[in-house]
Structure 1
Amino acid sequence: MRAAILQACTGTDPLLGARTLVEAVERAAGEGADMLFTPEMSNLLDRDRARAAAAIVIEAEDVTLAAVREAAARHGLWVHVGSLALRADGAGAPYVNRGFVIDADGAIRARYDKMHLFDVDLPTGESWRESASYVRGSGAVAVDTPWGRLGLAICYDLRFPDLFRALSDAGATILALPAAFTVPTGQAHWHVLLRARAIEAGAFVVAAAQGGHHADGRETYGHSLAVDPWGEVLLDMGDAPGVAVVALDPARIDQVRTRIPVLAHRRPIGAVEITS
């Protein structure tokens, strides 16, 4: 599988977000990629809630999703849209952080709503309350592709290994982890957690990230990664936006899982016995 990764610095205008993704589809197809992976919040990234409210629409009206589906069909390319900020229909809060897998005909094969929402106060003084605007997803999602079963996660999900155990137990051999990591958390944990998830699952990890100084004033870490099942970093895109292509050899999965058969050795964990 030739996987293309878009590292973006998404702004506050969904039309620009759509243009960036269409251009990435065209470039990925031109470089012989089989599938393009894009970051979290590929349509817009805006912490100004009033301004964002005017730009976030329901799925059927989102210009980025429509543009990517048309481009995917035109170029015969699969696309994992890491996530889009969308308005939720009839949910308890106004928005969802939703990822999509689109096939080479432009059809939506899977949707995943981010399960774990980022509500933290960082030592730098940054404070984030994703749950103030977004509804959490209700369950894990994996989808079959021509290159293996793809497990879906988004950003903060990375810190919850039970999700990735469930995905690998369900047969996922590739894990998609689009993100918009802050710089402090990225510097501390991004590489080590992505490598750990790959090693634990015996699977490839493809992590398309936001990177740079954004129009809404935030800064994201970048360093989009591809990691093999042994934990080897195959690609690190550093700080700059762009598209890169990396080869994922499915034979590597069997090699690693045979060498250290952790999936076969997993056991259900019941209640913890506590003694004193």
Structure 2
Amino acid sequence: MFLAAVIQTSSTTDVGRNLAEIEALVARAAGYGAKFIGTPENANFLGPADEKVRRAEPLDGPTCSFFADLARRHAIHLLLGSFNERGGSPQRCRNTSVLFGPDGSRLAIYRKIHLFDVDHSDAVRAMESRTIEPGTDLVGADTALGRFGLSVCYDLRFADQYRGLVRRGAEMLCVPAAFTMRTGRDHWAELLRARAIECQSYVLAPAQYGRHGGESELRESFGRAMIVDPWGVVLATAPDGPSGLALAEIDPGRVAEIRRAIPVSAYDPA
């Protein structure tokens, strides 16, 4: 059993400010005893898509180096929810999530597969594929805490991805996000609970909150960073507002217990 924390921030185009806020929240969560701490999607930068591409970094760049040092300093498993990784062309970057171990090593690297191409309304309109290069691989990581499955935001709507992670042994599913206010209000908690119930897994969901400025002034993130247990019970939710935390105890034995009691995986394809 271990204590997990998911962070709620309101990232902007000011990378220094964003990282300083994350540093303070990680220190706060580690001070409570958290051994896993997750940060949201677009943790280092949230602003105009073209600027995100222009500022894209390699895996050994300053953002990953910052997170590796933070994990090492607090001796924690630390999830960089996502950052703008340099892509295969100058026109697009990758939306990349990285899990760091307590020694600062990279345990897993996941590139967001499902891109947010939607046209619902002025408040929910995006064409992420214009500037983001999609990933192709499901990614999990074995750790001293158990096996984590990685995903990012819009992936949450695609249940098959999470069942695939469970077939690969995942007990905890990470869903760092920047859900819009409009969709988050009606779908965020419902989808997180659905993934937890059908996968019989813990769901760890750090989140962005509030308005983000620049080109994204119409973009407002829902927040409500959340931890859900494998029965679908919401264990903790961050209050509305920036600089928030949700903390809960994670018991991998609970996953095994529920999967034995209701063996839905017996019906998974071979």
Tell me the matched-pair count.
265
Name the counterpart of 1:198: 196
Deviations 1:53-96 (A, max 9, x none): 443333322x33211211211111110111111221x3484200
Please give the root-mean-square deviation of Cα atoms over the aligned residues, in Å: 1.6
- The partner residue of 2:95 within 77, 94, 97 is 97
Partner amino acid, structure 1, of 2:42: M
Percent identity (aligned): 39
Name the counterpart of 2:76: 77
Q: Mapping of 1:33-72 within 5 angstroms?
A: 33-47=34-48, 49=50, 51-61=51-61, 63-72=62-71
Deviations 1:126-176 (A, max 9, x none): 320000000000110000111211000000001111101110011100000
| 1:24 Cα deviation after fit | 2.3
Partner amino acid, structure 1, of 2:21: T
Name stretches of at least 5 consecutive residues in structure 1 with no aligned partner. Answer: 269-276
| 1:29 Cα deviation after fit | 1.6
Partner amino acid, structure 2, of 1:33: A
Displaced runs of 4 or more, over 4 A: none
| 1:255 Cα deviation after fit | 2.2
Partner amino acid, structure 1, of 2:60: A
Alignment partner of 1:135: what SS? Answer: coil
Name the counterpart of 1:274: none
Distance in structure 1 (CA, Å) of the matches to 2:153 and 2:49: 20
Partner amino acid, structure 2, of 1:138: T
Partner amino acid, structure 2, of 1:257: R
Distance in structure 1 (CA, Å) of the matches to 2:68 and 2:194: 33
Taking a change above 3 Å as real, the CA distance of residues 240 and 125 of structure 1, as seen in their structure-2 partners, is closer
- The partner residue of 1:213 within 208, 211, 214 is 211
Partner amino acid, structure 1, of 2:15: P
Contact 2:235 2:248 in 1 (8 A): yes
Name the counterpart of 1:122: 120
Q: Larger C-alpha radius of gyration, 1 or 2? A: 1
Distance in structure 2 (CA, Å) of the matches to 1:200 and 1:244: 22
Alignment partner of 1:179: what SS? Answer: coil
Distance in structure 2 (CA, Å) of the matches to 1:228 and 1:64: 30
The TM-score, its normalising length taken from structure 2, stands at: 0.93
| 1:125 Cα deviation after fit | 5.2
